[in-house]
């Protein structure tokens, strides 16, 4: 797969930051400078800079030079526990049932969500996680194949998507949103819930240094699950 021009620029900038050659506060070349150096349009250079800014690696300043973001922004990692480990830690047995594993074409929403172009492919999985004999989480996950090209080749009854993604695309950033919802058709069917039963739903987007890794929707029965978190800054 050919590497796009904006990705080449982005990787060059990442290399300077990760090597320590550009420390915190170091100025980053402007769109014009990058466009001239790499013989590309300003729009291409802007995309590379904007993606690094979205990942918190550089800070873009209106009317002034962009700079390398603070050390905290670069290296903070949200510790997210693997559900199989959580279940094992409670002294129970984990089992996963793969319901869907397919390749789809991105419309406007999923293209924006995963950092893709409209019409690009993305991977989709739907997995039900069980604790002993009870379904405890329904995991809908949408994955960027440009970052994780072999995702659909994995046996997710033996390794969870989270565990696999952490191995091949170590996470640098994560964003969570939690909401209380009523059980939809999928939750009723696969979690064994009644219509309108309360659920906790977690929306999670993760990034690695290569870009957006995945967007996941994790639905849990409200009467069997509670959400908590622990932040570790390294």
What is the structure's pLDDT at 3? 64
Over residues 132-160, the pLDDT tens digits come to 999 999 999 999 999 999 999 999 999 99
Query: Is 5-75's fold the same as 77-225's?
Result: no
Query: Which residues does 138 contact at the CB level (< 8 Å), separation at least 6?
Result: 126, 127, 128, 129, 186, 187, 190, 191, 218, 219, 220
What is the structure's pLDDT at 157? 96
What is the structure's pLDDT at 196? 86
What is the architecture, at CATH level 2, of domain 77-225?
Answer: 3-Layer(aba) Sandwich (3.40)
| Out of 34-38, 70-74, 208-212, least confident range | 70-74
Output the average pLDDT for the chain. 85
Over residues 4-25, the pLDDT tens digits come to 888 899 889 988 887 778 888 8
Over residues 67-97, the pLDDT tens digits come to 887 654 333 334 567 888 888 877 889 999 9
Q: What does the domain layout of the chain look like in residue ranges?
A: 5-75, 77-225
> Is the pLDDT reported for residue 114 higher than 90?
yes
Contact 225, 136 (CB under 8 A): yes
What is the structure's pLDDT at 187? 92
Contact 93, 136 (CB under 8 A): no
Query: Which residues does 116 contact at the CB level (< 8 Å), separation at least 6?
Result: 106, 110, 122, 144, 146
What is the structure's pLDDT at 225? 60
Just give the CATH number of 5-75: 1.10.10.10
Most confident of 102-111, 138-147, 219-228: 138-147
Mean pLDDT (whole number) for 168-190: 88
Tell if the pTM clears 0.85, that is, is over it. no
Neighbours of 172 (CB within 10 A): 20
What is the structure's pLDDT at 75? 30
Contact 49, 58 (CB under 8 A): yes
DSSP state of 27: B
């Amino acid at each position: 797969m050919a590497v796009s021009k904006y990705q080449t620029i982005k990787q060059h900038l990442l290399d300077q930051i990760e090597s320590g050659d550009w420390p915190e506060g170091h100025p980053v070349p402007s769109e014009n400078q990058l466009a001239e150096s790499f013989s590309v349009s300003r729009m291409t250079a802007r995309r590379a800079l904007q993606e690094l800014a979205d990942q918190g690696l550089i800070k873009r300043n209106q009317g002034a030079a962009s700079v390398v973001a603070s050390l905290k922004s670069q290296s903070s990692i949200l510790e997210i526990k693997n559900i199989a480990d959580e279940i094992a830690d409670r002294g129970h047995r984990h089992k996963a049932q793969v319901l869907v594993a397919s390749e789809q074409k991105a419309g406007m929403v999923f293209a924006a969500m995963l950092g893709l172009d409209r019409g690009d492919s993305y991977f989709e999985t739907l997995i039900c996680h069980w604790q002993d004999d009870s379904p405890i989480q329904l995991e809908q996950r949408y994955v960027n194949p440009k970052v994780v090209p072999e995702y659909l080749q994995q046996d997710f009854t033996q390794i969870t998507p989270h565990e696999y993604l952490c191995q091949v695309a170590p996470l640098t950033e994560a964003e969570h949103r939690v909401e209380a919802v009523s059980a939809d058709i999928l939750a009723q069917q696969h979690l064994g819930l009644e219509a309108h039963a309360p659920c906790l739903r977690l929306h999670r987007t993760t990034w690695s240094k290569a870009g957006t890794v995945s967007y996941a929707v994790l639905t849990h029965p409200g009467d069997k699950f509670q959400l908590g978190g622990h932040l570790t800054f390294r």
